[in-house]
Homo-oligomer: A and B are copies of this chain.
Amino acid sequence: MIVEILCVGTEILLGNIVNTNAKFLSEELANLGLSVFFQTVVGDNPERLESALDIALNRSDIVITTGGLGPTQDDLTKEIIAKAMGKKLVENAKAKEMLEERLHSFRLVITENNYKQAFLPEGATPLYNNHGTAPGAIVENNGKRVIMLPGPPSEMTLMFKESVLPYLKTLSDDVIVSRTVKMIGIGESTMASMADDLINSENPTVAPYAKPFESQLRVTAKAKSEAEALGLIEPMVDKIKERFEDYIYSYDVDESLEAAVVKLLKANKLHIACAESCTGGMLASTIINVPGSSDIINESFVTYSNEAKEKRLGVPHDILEKYGAVSEEVASKMAEGVALVSAADIGIGITGIAGPDGGTKDKPVGLVYIGLYYKGNTVVKKLTRKGNRLTIRQGTVMTALDMIRRAVG
């Protein structure tokens, strides 16, 4: 079945916002084994919306729209969808109920205008909006389907997961199940060439994905039941595990590297402390973004100046003088020092040149040392990263998290 994504919103055409809705829907639909051949964005203009909708219905089986359901524009979009699908716009009793419940939960007084949101194309199935007020809807006619979703991503993604996903699954006799293997420390092209034979597999399929600073393999099986699909997936995941074990940090598509690291430290009852120079608190902040990180981190230091490195972490003055702040020796002393002063099991010390200025021939922009102290040993990793100040710092944080995972795991 061919699906087209049609996003309605002048703010996208003006470049005010990035179209994350299209990305989210495309990814979800790909996971279901449905083909998306086109994404279209059109503004809040009736003629152009009608024309875009006609084109989409002509070349696709299902059109998923986002946006244009707000209190000021809802009539318009819904009228046009109704027209394109050959339906009248009528008050939908179930949508009205949903709407009253939602407005009540927001303690809002219901105005006549609100009730316009309960009007849907005749025979449409309303979709509950757990994050806003306007219901979505599924409209079917002559084998074509339009699924109308709200524009705000928080409303749209929840409605998709709660209502649209189960609906789309009923359209196929097959069950599609995916499993994502997440890796760090290996580039996408290396991963893909190492998995070359697996990528040629037909059911399950294996597809490589590059994400910022990490790589993924997604295994997808199509079968008559979930159990059967899992039966196809598991041996393939085992093969991937055997080949890439060292790089794999999670088999859960929603688990971030930092969440995996926090879980690992929790399980091992370990505490960590960071001493950061060029990353300036980004590693600590990334760890602390994981709920419950207070179990594994009490404190951390941003020691940007040499003086702070000496005073807070006890990095010897002569080592800073002799090797310079950006050196293996200083990274090592920072890691040991922060573990000691914070009484942490693991100490991380990061020092580097994030640019754009401050680079020399010997110590260019992108040179970073990450020290890791654990169980009486200190290791230092030297990075030579490309990119801008932010991406050098972000990549450093990811490598530091990877080092922690490998040291403990």
| Chain A interface (Cβ < 8 Å from any Cβ of B) | 12-20, 22-30, 36-43, 45, 48, 51-52, 55, 59, 209-210, 274, 276, 278-285, 287-289, 291-294, 297-305, 307-308, 312, 342, 355-357, 389-390, 393
A-B contacts, 20 listed (Cβ < 8 Å): A12-B23, A13-B38, A15-B25, A15-B26, A19-B23, A37-B45, A38-B48, A39-B40, A39-B41, A40-B40, A51-B59, A280-B287, A281-B284, A281-B302, A291-B357, A291-B389, A294-B304, A298-B305, A299-B301, A300-B304
Q: Which residues of B contact A393 (CB under 8 A)?
A: 285, 289
Query: Are A303 and B308 neighbours in the complex by a CB distance under 8 Å?
Result: no
Q: Which of the residues B18, B285, B303 comes within 8 Å of A279, measured between beta carbons?
A: B285
CA distance A389 to B256 in the complex (A): 14
Given the interface pairs A40-B40, A304-B294, A307-B298, the reply to whether A19 lies near B16 with Cβ below 8 Å is no
Given the interface pairs A19-B18, A292-B357, the reply to whether A37 lies near B29 with Cβ below 8 Å is no
Query: Are A285 and B291 neighbours in the complex by a CB distance under 8 Å?
Result: no
Q: How far is the CB of A177 from chain B (nearest CB, A)?
A: 17
Considering only CB atoms, which chain B residue lies closest to A307 in the complex? B298
Q: Which of the residues B13, B30, B283, B307 comes within 8 Å of A37, measured between beta carbons?
A: B13
CA distance A20 to B18 in the complex (A): 6
Query: Are B289 and A285 neighbours in the complex by a CB distance under 8 Å?
Result: no
Query: Are B291 and A304 neighbours in the complex by a CB distance under 8 Å?
Result: no
Q: Which of the residues B17, B38, B52, B289 comes within 8 Å of A280, measured between beta carbons?
A: B289
Q: Which of the residues B14, B285, B307, B357 comes within 8 Å of A282, measured between beta carbons?
A: B285
Q: Which of the residues B18, B22, B294 comes within 8 Å of A305, measured between beta carbons?
A: B294
Query: Are B312 and A304 neighbours in the complex by a CB distance under 8 Å?
Result: no
CA distance A288 to B397 in the complex (A): 14
Q: Which of the residues B30, B52, B210, B302 comes within 8 Å of A301, measured between beta carbons?
A: B302
Q: Which residues of B contact A308 (CB under 8 A)?
A: 298-299, 342
Considering only CB atoms, which chain B residue lies closest to A393 in the complex? B289
Q: Which residues of B contact A23 (CB under 8 A)?
A: 12, 15, 17-19
Query: Are A37 and B26 neighbours in the complex by a CB distance under 8 Å?
Result: no
Q: Which residues of B contact A279 (CB under 8 A)?
A: 285, 288
Query: Are B288 and A281 neighbours in the complex by a CB distance under 8 Å?
Result: yes
Q: How far is the CB of A236 from chain B (nearest CB, A)?
A: 19
- Additional A-B contacts beyond A19-B39, A39-B40, A298-B307 (14; CB < 8 A): A12-B22, A14-B26, A16-B27, A16-B209, A38-B52, A39-B39, A40-B40, A51-B59, A55-B55, A289-B390, A289-B393, A293-B304, A297-B304, A299-B312
